[in-house]
Amino acid sequence: MILHGNVAQRLGRSFWRRARSAAGGVLVCVVCWSSAVRAEAPEAAVSASEAGKAPTTQRSVVPPRLLDAPSVPYPPDAHGDAKVVVVLTVNTDGSVRSAQAVGADAPFADTAVESVKHWRFAPATRDGAPVAATIRVQVEFYAPVVSGPEASTTPSGPDGATGKDAASAADSKSAERPRQAQRPIEVTVLGERQAPMVTSLSRTEVRQLPGTFGDPFRAIEIMPGVTPIISGLPFFYVRGAPPGNVGYFLDGIRVPYLYHVAIGPSVIQPGMVESVDLYPGGYPARYGRYAGGIVSAETTAPRVTPHGEGNIRIFDAGGLVESGFAGGRGTVLLGGRYSYTAAILSLLTPNAKLDYRDYQARVTYDLTPRDQVSMVAFGAYDLLAQDINGISTIAFGSEFYRGDFRYDHQIGKSGRVRTAITLGYDQTAIGGQRNAQDRMISGRSEFDQQLTSNTHLRVGVDAVSDSYKITTPVYRDPDDPSEKLFDDLFPPRRDVALGAHAELGIQVQKGFLVTPGFRVDRYSSGSATKVGLDPRLSARLRVREGLSLVQSFGIAHQPPSFVLPVPGLALGSLANGLQTAYQTSAGIEWQLLPSTKLTANAFDNVFTDLTDALSIPEGRGDSLNRRALGRAYGLEFFLHRTLTQRLGGFLSYTLSRSTRRVDNAVFPSAFDRRHVFNGALAFDLGRKWRAGTRLVFYTGAPQRTKAPAATTTTDAPAAPAVGAGTPVSDPARDPAFYRIDLRLEKLWMIGKTAHLSFVAEMLNATLKKEVYNGNPIGPIAVPSIGLEGVF
């Protein structure tokens, strides 16, 4: 629950440096009119350059000059082209005091205004003295036509100049002709076109979503196709794929888990995350080695202007700061979170201990206008333990650390190469007797290039090595069958995966985009070796303005996986084969209003050699390593009105069925919830008050371990349950569950750029208990009260 400090910076560091081609792309054309400049003295405003003024007055005023290259992303939830006129006031120190859009709709107006607020200018002068000035700029958005790369923001300018030089060159030429309008500054922003079927939410919106506490990763559960295991826990089935088959990434870096102690805050500072995308299937070829969905988060763009944010709540405190150095060539960001629940909990329960913390760091430095080196590091630590007779028993203990070192090189005006090396360490305490550890090193290299105005190529190679080890308990019986089974399932070993991928975006004709892709991976574990061949294909056809048909198909392979994503723990049974998913979907994307969008999809996924221990009935052998066939099919609907509007909200509904087959028995998967519904409203109450509410509803999961009690009111037999190794096709089900989340915020402005907010929020304000396998759980309810600030 932290207010963002740089809204609308998604893709800010991933823009192409080229002018808009005839086929389109995303172009942001920023035009400053010097003839519209109103220069202001510190005490009073004085018109300086309007038509009809004396020539001497015009010559005495020099309009503001842009210093930083404009960074304006194409809104992730937008469609089509738009022009936004923004009236902004530039202070005497070159910062933007205020910005307001004129005659434009969200999300373009919101994106333009929030981006303009972070620009830096050389201030306007009158007779050589700095003065405040009000100017008008026009920002033009053009929808991307093909998949684009992630490239640094380096605009093209006059005479081949780039970046800040381009802006300076354009402005200096206009300054020589004070009677004429300032020369336009053109910034090419060819953003990445979202793949069909992807659902994306920015952190700006997530802040307004009750029950997420401002954490972008918590928005995953509202997305269509996502089925929760238990309310509030960060483990999900995605279109029938179990939690261990869902991959989590931050800027291409693998993240082992998302939340502290399962129901706590995100392990990544929200202020560092710009947006989160969910690819439920048929995802781009650069994502591999997972046979379920992909959750990919993008970090905010580096900023040279000092800024920061922080929050303090009843159970933890966190924040981040960022600034530039070396004259703007470099940036450094530091962030973290620390929980003081251990001290609070010790007062209530002296024998219990709960502790968590995390950190984030990022450093970037421009070697040349085309070359940049950077480092991103983050990590998290969690501990839940209890002291019994002076001995600490760990119920849950986990930690992970990542360090990513990158080199980016810009090729011409539309190409980029990124090479990166990632180091990682994961560890989890298992039963208080063992520690599962993984030492990881990986490397990747990607090349992006716009080949023609209608085609874009992305290719890459990557490799990862995981060294797994589980410590041996001091006291153990080597002849114990359970010990032998554990050793067989999780042997010490080194797993290596080598991969290559290619993807070509082709605009067949205007409004018709086809993106074929292919990925190949070679897996090795001990003496076992397997190869996965993963073709991908997606298409988007614009039927008419605002309405498109979308379709995707893909095959994805994954080594055997543990039932849940646990750092340092992975099955060592590659010899039994790879898990395989065949993913298909088709649907529509319909922009009903400028800020309202409807998506509807039908999907059908088939899984082979699936390791889903949650769904394997008891008594059918080694459930952790038992393979199954699986299928999931259904319909998804998502109606979304931007949550930052005066009245915003969404409706998300999934109707699906998920089954497993072992031997000749076909039965529902463990969390086959037929109906999953999420609905939310966020509204502006006025006077800087905002409120929101959210309803979560889903039907019960099939029972697995006990049969329902016999009934005396009817002669009809009760439905049997899955259990004791005897699966049935129609087991008894738990009752449906619902919860209501609430959020209330009051904001106070501090000066022109800082603000402070009071936020009260609660997940499961209804204190509703959930029933799993016939047993009540909870209620799992999380209250939060705190202060948040941004400068």
Q: pLDDT (tens digit, 9 = 90+) per residue, 66-102? A: 876 566 787 766 666 677 888 888 887 788 887 877 7
* Higher-scoring residue by pLDDT: 431, 613: 613
Return the pLDDT at 60.
Answer: 55
Residue percentage of the chain with pLDDT more than 70: 77
Return the pLDDT at 211.
Answer: 87
Banded model confidence at residue 104, pLDDT cuts 50, 70, 90: low
pLDDT averaged over every residue in the chain = 79
Residues 6 or more apart whose Cβ sits within 8 Å of residue 712: none
Q: Which among 223, 295, 220, 290 is positioned nearest to 583, based on CA atoms?
A: 290
Q: Which among 256, 273, 253 is positioned nearest to 212, based on CA atoms?
A: 273
Banded model confidence at residue 724, pLDDT cuts 50, 70, 90: very low
Highest mean pLDDT among 25-29, 332-336, 410-414: 332-336
* pLDDT above 70: residue 562: yes
Return the pLDDT at 711.
Answer: 41
| Rounded CA separation 653/641 (Å) | 15
Q: Provide the 8-state DSSP code for 91.
A: -
Q: Which residues pair with 756 in a beta bridge?
A: 748, 789
Three-state secondary-structure class, residue 554: strand
Digit-coded pLDDT (tens) for 465-516: 999 998 877 777 777 887 788 888 889 999 999 999 999 999 999 889 999 9
* pLDDT above 90: residue 554: yes
* pLDDT above 60: residue 722: no
For range 705-720, the mean pLDDT: 41
Beta strands in 33-95 (DSSP E): 38-40, 61-62, 65-66, 82-90
Return the pLDDT at 197.
Answer: 59
Return the pLDDT at 329.
Answer: 92
Lowest mean per-residue pLDDT among 133-147, 226-240, 430-444: 133-147
For range 619-641, the mean pLDDT: 84
Banded model confidence at residue 396, pLDDT cuts 50, 70, 90: confident
Contact predicate 698/734, CB 8 Å = no
* pLDDT above 60: residue 306: yes
Contact predicate 396/402, CB 8 Å = no
Q: DSSP per residue over 268-308, as a string?
A: S-GGGEEEEEEE-SS--TT--S-SS-EEEEEEPPP-SS-EE
Cα 447-453-454 angle, rounded to 5 deg: 85
Banded model confidence at residue 51, pLDDT cuts 50, 70, 90: very low
Digit-coded pLDDT (tens) for 114-139: 888 888 888 887 766 777 888 888 88
* pLDDT above 90: residue 655: yes
What are the φ and ψ backbone dihedral angles of 118, each rounded to 5 degrees?
-100, 5
* pLDDT above 50: residue 43: no
Return the pLDDT at 714.
Answer: 40
Q: Which among 275, 334, 336, 402 is positioned nearest to 8, based on CA atoms?
A: 275
Residues 6 or more apart whose Cβ sits within 8 Å of residue 378: 250, 267, 268, 358, 359, 360, 361, 401, 402
| Rounded CA separation 130/151 (Å) | 35
* pLDDT above 60: residue 223: yes
Return the pLDDT at 274.
Answer: 82
| Rounded CA separation 77/592 (Å) | 12
Return the pLDDT at 374.
Answer: 96
Return the pLDDT at 185.
Answer: 33
Q: Give, for 361, the enclosing helix (H) or strand (E).
A: strand 352-368
Return the pLDDT at 487.
Answer: 82
Q: Which among 770, 757, 765 is positioned nearest to 781, based on CA atoms?
A: 765
Return the pLDDT at 642.
Answer: 82
For range 753-776, the mean pLDDT: 92
For range 615-639, the mean pLDDT: 82
